[in-house]
Amino acid sequence: MAIDCIIKNPPTMSSLKEHKEDQQKSLVFDALVLQHETNMPQQFIWPDHEKPNSQKSKELEVPMLDLGDFLTGHSDSVKKASRLIGEVCENHGFFLVVNHGVDANLISDAQRYLDLFFELPLLEKQRAQRKVGESCGYASSFTGRFSSKLPWKETLSFQFSAEKNSSSVVKDYFTNTMGEEFERLGKVYQDYCNAMSKLSLVIMELLGMSLGVSRGHFKEFFEDNNSIMRLNYYPPCQKPDLTLGTGPHCDPTSLTILHQDNVSGLEVFVDNEWRSIAPNPNAFVVNIGDTFMALSNGRYKSCLHRAVVNNKSPRKSLAFFLCPKREKLVSPPQELVDENNPRIYPDFTWSTFLEFTQKHYRADMNTLQVFSNWVRQKTS
């Protein structure tokens, strides 16, 4: 099993400052210093077969799902939307959503507050430092977690819960880890996550219909979701052709709703080539993740993607990763399994799959397959 997430040779350049925490010394990527560095530290240099092409990738025309039509409830619009989503998800699983009903001010606040967080001095961001093995907190290039192919980014991840008694978990996360002065920021991301969770349930209705399962099936499955929200900050890089902001991977989660700022960087591997998805402030980029691929018994595809960096502008993205409630069984509905469509993946829980990506395997293009083999071998 490729466990290159276990750190073997910690980085040693001067721009990776030492930081003492919990009696343990870990090294930190200081974007303020590294963004001017022309000598690329070797830990950030990706192998040739994964390096981005120095030519700009061609843009991919991604199908646009107009939810305004669907939300009116006209049967023609509903059929049209469900047909479109079905076609896309059997192909590469990436689509844009427009007229989604999410308040434009909330989106711009979420982008603005992302800046406020990442512009804080390193020591302040480290109040939310993510610990190895955990999926939440602030991480700079995962220097303490991986020893090679470091991503050129800083991230802040936190949990969201749609369960009834958890209506302030995001807000509380910010005030508990960063201090009371972060209440406003916490409120913005609490509202943003609520909006994303609501939007994902609408998309789940469409996915259910398009798969010929009842409209409510997946919506109900995710009603009590325990999701992950991530803020991504990609600083400029003097050698963008040598590294990646986020390496090639399929999302292990169920459905991703991404908002990119106005700087491009997201690329999808379609028909054997990397294609870019242009930023559109009015749209969300949505993609199917491995867990939904398993729920659809392999019908809908979780597609390989990555984020490249550039030498001019920082890039920001907001990613909401829809995940099932942790202990719920991930198993396809019986309508999707028959003699011609036997089960492809074993039953599992999101809790086990998440732990697999945090402790045993660095998510890449093979995560679901490797995880399935691991589950089968453990239960045989």
Ligand X SMILES: C=C1C[C@]23C[C@@]1(O)CC[C@H]2[C@]1(C)CCC[C@@](C)(C(=O)O)[C@H]1[C@@H]3C(=O)O
Ligand Y SMILES: O=C(O)CCC(=O)C(=O)O
Catalytic residues: 315
Q: How far is CA 357 from the centre of its chain?
A: 13
Residue type at 100 in one-letter notation: H
Show the tokens assigned to 202.
């609408």
Classify burial at 349, counting beta carbons within 10 Å of its beta carbon; exposed 0-12, middle 13-18, buried 19 or more. middle
Backbone torsions φ then ψ of 139, nearest 5 degrees: -135, 135
Neighbours of 232 (CB within 10 A): 24
Contact region for ligand Y (CB under 6 A) — 9-17, 24-32, 36-44, 258-266? 258-266
Rank residues 16 and 229 by Cβ distance to Fe ion and give the closer one. Answer: 229
Stretch that binds ligand X, among 24-32, 64-72, 244-252, 344-352 (CB under 6 A): 244-252
CA distances from 374 to 47, 97, 184, 301, 369 (A): 27, 35, 43, 21, 9
CB 153 within 8 A of CB 233: yes
**Both tokens assigned to 307:** 């984020």
Between 320 and 349, how does the x/- string for binding to ligand X read (CB under 6 A)?
-x----------------------------
- 259 interacts with ligand X by CB under 6 A: no
How big is the site for ligand Y, counted in residues (CB under 6 A)?
A: 12
Footprint of ligand Y on residues 207-246 (CB under 6 A)? 230, 232, 246
Q: Supply the DSSP symbol for 366.
A: T
- For residue 145, the number of C-alpha atoms closer than 13 Å in the C-beta half-sphere is 22
**Of residues 109, 251, 267, 364, which one binds Fe ion by CB under 5 A?**
251
Select the span of 144-152, 179-187, 207-215, 259-267 touching ligand Y (CB under 6 A).
259-267
Cα angle 360, 361, 366 (rounded to 5 degrees) comes to: 145
Only segment of 34-42, 72-80, 120-128, 257-265 that touches ligand Y (CB under 6 A):
257-265
Smallest gap from Cβ 328 to ligand X, in A, equals 16
Nearest residue (CB) to ligand X, 70 versus 192: 192
For the bound state, the minimum distance from the C-beta of residue 361 to ligand X, rounded and expressed in Å, comes to 9
* Minimum separation from the CB atom of position 358 to ligand X (A): 6
Give dist(CA 209, CA 216) in Å, integer. 8
Distance CA 220, CA 214 (A): 10
By beta-carbon proximity to ligand Y, the closer residue of 130 and 305 is: 305
One symbol per residue from 316 to 335: x for binding ligand Y (CB under 6 A), - otherwise; what is it? -x-x----------------
Q: Which residues bind to ligand X, rule: CB under 6 A?
A: 151, 228, 246-247, 249, 251-253, 321, 354, 357, 362-363
Binding stretches for ligand Y (CB under 6 A): 230, 232, 246, 251, 258, 260, 265-266, 305, 307, 317, 319
